[in-house]
């Protein structure tokens, strides 16, 4: 988990909107997304060494340097896989090779597609444990966070340190047997909003910014057992399509 600033809860959950939601399906032969749609991709982070070498070739020198700075070998491998999957999936939408994808970053390091792609796509990537997830939208803003539920974490201590008072009340309202999952639900919602906002995890939303948080719509998805995933957007969607990327290389990646 990462540290984050405190914000006043009060987000819209889009209860009046019931978008069409698909089951998890294989990657489509052609990827097209329209305004009003949200595409959610999930993929496993484990990868045999010989395939890892192939994925590493999709990354830029800067991305490889970022991977090399990770001292934990497992985290390094997961970074390589997640970054390569991001490139493969975005390349599938842009109809170009994954290594041709170019990113630009805001002052807090949030990536977007470079202007040279002339694309209206927005995306956000998150990974935890064995899973990575990618949210893609068109003409919208999106943030996503996934967390593996850790049975040994003192979540009350973390909540006391990072949660706003009304978030603590939400946590306390959960039945005792569901409080740990409830903590992760609140945590991922918070991080998804901060990632969608693009202002960095240390941003503190002050009381006079309380009304801004009401513009966020929060969506929770079951990714896998013992994982919690939340998405934050500023618009409601009429269609949510879920894809499982099995690791097959798309045609343009050959």
Task: Identify the CA nearest to 180 among candidates 144, 147, 145, 156.
Answer: 156
Cβ(79)–Cβ(71) under 8 Å?
no
Does the residue 11 lie in any domain?
no
Does the residue 235 lie in any domain?
yes
Question: How do beta strands 227-233 and 37-44 pair?
Answer: unpaired
- What residues contact 189, with CB distance under 8 A and at least 6 apart? 11, 145, 218, 220, 230, 232
Reply yes or no on whether the pLDDT at 249 is more than 80. Answer: no
Reply yes or no on whether the pLDDT at 238 is more than 70. Answer: yes
Q: 141-169 burial string, b = 16+ CB within 10 Å, else e?
A: bbbbbbbbbeeeeebeeebeebbbeebbe
Does the residue 32 lie in any domain?
yes
Does the residue 84 lie in any domain?
yes
Does the residue 79 lie in any domain?
yes
Residues 120-169: tens digit of each pLDDT: 999 999 999 999 999 999 999 999 999 999 999 999 999 999 998 989 99
Q: How many domains, the chain?
A: 1
Q: Which domain does 124 fall in, by range? A: 20-249
Does the residue 138 lie in any domain?
yes
Does the residue 144 lie in any domain?
yes
Describe the crossing of helices 179-197 and 155-162 by its angle, rounded to 10 degrees: 40
CATH of residue 79:
3.90.470.20
Q: Band of the pLDDT at 248, cuts 50, 70, 90?
A: low
Please give the Cα distance from 114 to 89 (Å, whole number): 16
Does the residue 232 lie in any domain?
yes
């Amino acid at each position: 988990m990462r540290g984050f600033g405190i914000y006043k809860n009060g987000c819209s959950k889009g209860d009046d909107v019931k978008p069409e939601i698909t089951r998890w399906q294989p990657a489509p032969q052609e990827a097209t997304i329209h305004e009003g749609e949200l595409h959610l991709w999930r993929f496993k982070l484990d990868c045999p060494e010989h395939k890892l070498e192939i994925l590493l070739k999709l990354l830029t020198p800067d991305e490889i340097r970022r991977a090399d700075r990770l001292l934990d070998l497992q985290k390094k491998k997961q970074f390589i896989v997640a970054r390569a999957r991001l490139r493969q999936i975005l390349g599938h939408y842009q109809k170009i090779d994954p290594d041709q994808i170019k990113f630009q970053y805001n002052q807090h390091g949030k990536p977007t597609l470079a202007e040279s792609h002339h694309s209206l796509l927005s995306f956000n990537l998150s990974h935890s444990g064995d899973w990575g997830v990618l949210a893609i939208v068109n003409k919208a803003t999106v943030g996503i966070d996934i967390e593996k539920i850790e049975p040994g974490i003192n979540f009350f201590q973390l909540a006391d340190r990072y949660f706003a008072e009304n978030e603590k009340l939400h946590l306390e309202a959960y039945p005792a047997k569901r409080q740990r999952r409830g903590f992760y639900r609140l945590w991922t919602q918070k991080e998804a909003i901060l990632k969608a906002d693009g202002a960095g995890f240390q941003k503190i939303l002050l009381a006079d910014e309380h009304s801004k948080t009401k513009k966020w719509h929060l969506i929770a998805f079951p990714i896998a057992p013992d994982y919690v995933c939340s998405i934050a957007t500023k618009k409601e969607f009429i269609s949510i399509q879920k894809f499982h990327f099995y690791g097959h290389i798309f045609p343009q990646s050959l």
